[in-house]
Amino acid sequence: MSETREANYKGVFDNRLGFGERPAVVVIDFINAYTTPGAAFFGQGVVDAVKASVPLLAAAREASIPIIYTKVYFHPSGADGGMFIKKVPALRKMIVGEPLAEIDPLITPQPEDIVIVKNYPSCFFGTSLNSTLKVLGADTTILIGCSTSGCVRATAIDAIQHGYRVAVPAECVGDRHQAPHDANLFDINAKYGDVLPVSEVIAYLKRLRQRPAA
């Protein structure tokens, strides 16, 4: 009998990074394109993840934790999408003025939140995210959003490469299909960060809220 993937990874890819002292929440592409039935990118898993993210975002705001949203806009020509937009032509619909390109109203950004526009899978690639996190003094990125197999995974890889701890609340990320979702959560947890129950992440945020001021 062949060994399980867990047994194969044991002792090599099962370490935990843990939380740091100064987290920031990165809300990755929770846009209407993924939560509107009938849209090309729709995924029920994303709808569920948006709902699960509401209490986490509330806990982050109560603890005064920075929240950074990302969304995708392309020039109508698609020229700024490079090979990515050639590979996934449906992305060309994501332009300024397109309702599907806007953040799901269930988790609308608040005035104090930052919104970054990106063109490629990783939230770090070609954006101000790393500089913003550095100025904020962040040492931990809490990644929520979609899709698990695409932009969440790409951002997790870049986050650890930029020196940040990575935490992914499992219920707060979603994909269009369960199989790539599960496979990529397993891989993120093995190599790039900690995949955790959302309850554990919320408990961490509450501890920060109760911490005495320095």
- CA pair distance 65, 156, nearest whole angstrom: 19
Rounded mean pLDDT, 10-22 = 86
- CA pair distance 117, 130, nearest whole angstrom: 13
pTM comes to: 0.94
Tell me the catalytic residues. Answer: 151
Which pLDDT band holds residue 59 (cuts at 50, 70, 90)?
very high
- The 10s digit of each residue's pLDDT in 116-169 is 999 999 999 999 999 999 999 999 999 999 999 999 999 999 999 999 999 999
DSSP β-ladder status, 114-118 and 23-28: unpaired
Q: Other C-beta atoms within 10 Å of 110: how many?
A: 10
**Is the distance from CB of 75 to CB of 95 less than 8 angstroms?**
yes
Q: Which amino acid is at 205?
A: L
For the segment(s) 20-208, the CATH number from 3.30.930.10, 3.90.1150.10, 3.55.50.30, 3.40.50.850 is 3.40.50.850
What residue spans of the chain are helical by DSSP H? 5-9, 32-35, 44-62, 82-87, 129-136, 153-161, 178-191, 198-210
